[in-house]
């Protein structure tokens, strides 16, 4: 089959990570794409990613400054990996040009931005895939199988709590700026997607939210080790960021979550934790509960049934004999029933991005809908903003539908103004 000409749009850290994911597919002989262009407003960054692509893929894509240039270079599909403010407008422009699109989450920086995208692409037959990688982790696929197979009984309760970060910069300055996608939204859209992936639609939430660390510090600016550098690709840009700056985005959120099924959830995200880094996620039902490791960690699940029978990792498989990973995930992770894997974070990160690419290619070839399309991407940001809108209002109950239709959106007003989005 002929390869699909594609361009990566956004040649910063995330674009580099996506290139690494494409290289994993190439190395496994599963790559459906031909990377013909890399696009960035910064020509030096585009040139750098083109050089890396030549090393990793054996051919050098054309560095470009905009989508039309990428299309002239032959691209019929694009992968948007820019900063979040540009996601919705670039996706709309690309689909207007007749290109198929994979866009990093969030699909829009606000609900208004996402609605604007929806209006502009209405009636188009182009593919729009939202690059949501956490649900593609083999451990999360197994959790979903346990829930859907009734092994936990009737789902009753979802729990997630995590903490870390102290007063240090998380990857990039923009992750601490409200109008650019603060850390609660940047991480939260991953986690709200996981909530609905496991347990179905969220109907309402109530929450408290705080900004604890008003000044954030960046050790990389003065020659120190960065606080976080996933994939090892952000070091150069981190060194050029301020050594300290004022944060405007909240860094802690504590919420209760109501699901349409009747299940309830508890969610706590503290990115200003000065104790030990912490992580816990679990799903509880009428027959048992499963403890879930951190995404991309490769650690095994722990399943307990009837309060006394415990199963770990591969011991779970006889309970779900029909569990199978898709062909590409199985090839990359070592088998169609992989339950845990001894791989470092950087490798897992690349492999999950490879899985995203493989599905995108399959959708283009078959003209089929992606697993995470516009609707799923918009719901993820709506649930996240419902929690944040509630927190900003002091803990009032907020319906997700009221966020989706724009009738509740006070917290997002300043963001919409900053990105030029009309409500």
Tell whether 8 and 128 lie within a shared domain.
Answer: yes
Distance CA 120, CA 101 (A): 14
Query: For residue 196, what is the domain's CATH number?
Result: 3.30.360.10
Q: Is 354 part of a structural domain of the chain?
A: no
154 and 290 both lie in a single domain = yes
Answer whether 7's CB lies under 8 Å from 70's CB: yes
Percentage with pLDDT > 90 across the chain: 97
Kindly report the CATH number assigned to the domain that includes residue 33: 3.40.50.720
Confidence band for 201, pLDDT divided at 50, 70 and 90: very high
Listed in sequence order, the residues at least 6 apart from 40 whose beta carbon sits closer than 8 Å to its beta carbon are 9, 10, 11, 12, 15, 46, 49, 63, 65
Question: Which neighbouring-strand residues pair with 128?
Answer: 101
What mean pLDDT, rounded, does the chain reach? 97
Model pLDDT, residue 21: 98
- Residue linked to tokens 């095994």: 300
Residue 275, domain member (yes or no): yes
Query: Average pLDDT of 27-40?
Result: 98
pLDDT > 70? residue 1: no
| DSSP summary character for residue 263 | -
Non-local (6+) Cβ contacts of 216 within 8 A are: 167, 168, 169, 173, 176, 244, 245, 246, 247
Bridge partners, 78 (sequence order): 7, 101
In 3D, which of 4, 130, 25 has the Cα closest to residue 77? 4
Question: How large a percentage of the chain has pLDDT more than 70?
Answer: 100
Predicted local confidence at residue 382, as pLDDT: 98
Does 183 score more than 80 pLDDT?
yes
Residue 113 resides in a domain:
yes
121 and 210 fall within a common domain:
no
**What pLDDT does 349 receive?**
96
Question: Where among 339, 360, 386 does a domain terminate?
Answer: 339
Q: Are residues 26 and 170 in the same domain?
A: no
Number of domains forming the structure of the chain: 2
pLDDT digits (tens, 9 = 90+) for 339-369: 888 899 999 999 999 999 999 999 999 999 9
- Cα-flanking dihedrals φ and ψ of residue 202, to 5°? -90, 135
How does pLDDT run across 379-390, given as a tens digit for each residue? 999 999 999 999
Q: Lowest mean pLDDT: which of 61-75, 129-143, 335-349?
A: 335-349
Interatomic CA distance for residues 215 and 308, integer angstroms = 47
| Shared-domain flag, residues 173 and 322 | yes
Residues 225 and 95 in one domain: no
pLDDT of residue 32: 98
Note whether residue 404 is domain-resident. Answer: no
Q: Of the given ranges (58-62, 230-234, 304-308), which has the lowest mean pLDDT?
A: 230-234
Residues 255 and 325 in one domain: yes
* pLDDT band for position 422 (cuts 50, 70, 90): confident
Is the predicted pLDDT of residue 226 greater than 70, yes or no?
A: yes
**How much is the average pLDDT of 137-152?**
98
pLDDT digits (tens, 9 = 90+) for 100-129: 999 999 999 999 999 999 999 999 999 999
Residue 113 and residue 260 share a domain: no
Q: Name the residue among 349, 422, 304 with its Cα closest to residue 171.
A: 349
Is the residue at 394 inside a domain? no
Q: Are 106 and 131 in contact (CB under 8 A)?
A: no
Domain extent, residue 8, equals 4-134+368-373
Same domain, 187 and 121: no
Average pLDDT over residues 41-48: 97
Calculate the alpha carbon distances from 160 to 8, 264, 384 in Å.
33, 12, 14
DSSP-assigned letters across all residues of 165-219: ETTB--SSGGGG-GGG--HHHHHHHHHHHHHHHHH--EEEEEEEEE---SEEE-G
DSSP strand pairing (128-131 vs 309-312) = unpaired
For residue 328, the 8-state DSSP code is H
Residues 118 and 141 in one domain: no
Q: Looking at the structure, tell me whether residues 20 and 63 fall in a common domain.
A: yes
Q: What is the pLDDT of residue 330?
A: 97
| Position 57 pLDDT exceeds 90 | yes
Residue 108 and residue 234 in one domain: no
Q: At 414, is the pLDDT very low, low, confident or very high (cuts 50, 70, 90)? A: very high
């Amino acid at each position: 089959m002929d390869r699909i000409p594609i361009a990566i749009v956004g040649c910063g850290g995330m674009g580099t990570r996506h290139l690494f994911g494409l290289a994993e597919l190439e190395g496994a002989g599963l790559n459906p794409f031909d990377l013909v262009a890399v696009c960035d407003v910064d020509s030096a960054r585009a040139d750098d990613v083109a050089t890396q692509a030549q090393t990793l893929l054996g051919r050098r894509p054309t560095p470009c400054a905009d989508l039309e240039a990428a299309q002239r270079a032959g691209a019929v599909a694009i992968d948007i990996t820019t900063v979040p403010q540009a996601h919705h407008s670039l996706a709309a422009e690309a689909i207007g040009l007749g290109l198929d699109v994979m866009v990093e989450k969030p699909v829009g920086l606000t609900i208004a931005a996402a609605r604007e995208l929806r209006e502009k692409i209405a009636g188009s037959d182009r593919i729009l895939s939202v690059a949501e990688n956490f649900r593609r982790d083999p451990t999360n696929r197994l959790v979903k199988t346990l829930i859907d197979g009734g092994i936990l009984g009737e789902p009753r309760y979802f729990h997630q709590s995590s903490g870390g970060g102290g007063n240090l910069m998380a990857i990039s300055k923009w992750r601490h700026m409200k109008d650019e996608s603060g850390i609660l939204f940047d991480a939260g859209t991953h986690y709200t997607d996981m909530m609905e992936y496991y347990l179905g639609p969220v109907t309402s939430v109530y929450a408290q939210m705080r900004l604890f660390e008003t000044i954030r510090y960046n050790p990389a600016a003065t020659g120190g080790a960065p606080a976080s550098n996933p994939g090892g690709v952000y070091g150069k840009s981190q060194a050029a960021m301020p050594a300290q700056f004022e944060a405007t985005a909240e860094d802690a959120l504590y919420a209760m979550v109501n699901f349409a099924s009747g299940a309830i959830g508890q969610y706590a995200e503290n990115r200003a934790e000065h104790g030990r880094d912490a992580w816990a996620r679990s799903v509880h039902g009428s027959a048992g509960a499963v403890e879930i490791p951190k995404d991309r960690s490769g650690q095994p699940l722990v399943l307990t049934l009837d309060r006394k029978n415990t199963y770990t990792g591969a011991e779970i498989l006889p309970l779900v004999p029909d569990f199978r990973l898709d062909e590409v995930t199985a090839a990359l992770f070592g088998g169609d029933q992989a339950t845990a894997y001894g791989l470092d974070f950087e490798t897992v990160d690349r492999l999950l991005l490879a899985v995203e690419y493989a599905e995108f290619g399959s959708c283009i070839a078959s003209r089929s809908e992606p697993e995470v399309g516009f609707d799923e991407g918009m719901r993820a940001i709506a649930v996240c903003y419902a929690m944040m809108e509630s927190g900003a209002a002091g803990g009032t109950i907020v319906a997700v539908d009221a966020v989706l239709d724009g009738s509740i959106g006070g917290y997002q007003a300043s963001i919409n103004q900053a990105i030029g989005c009309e409500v």
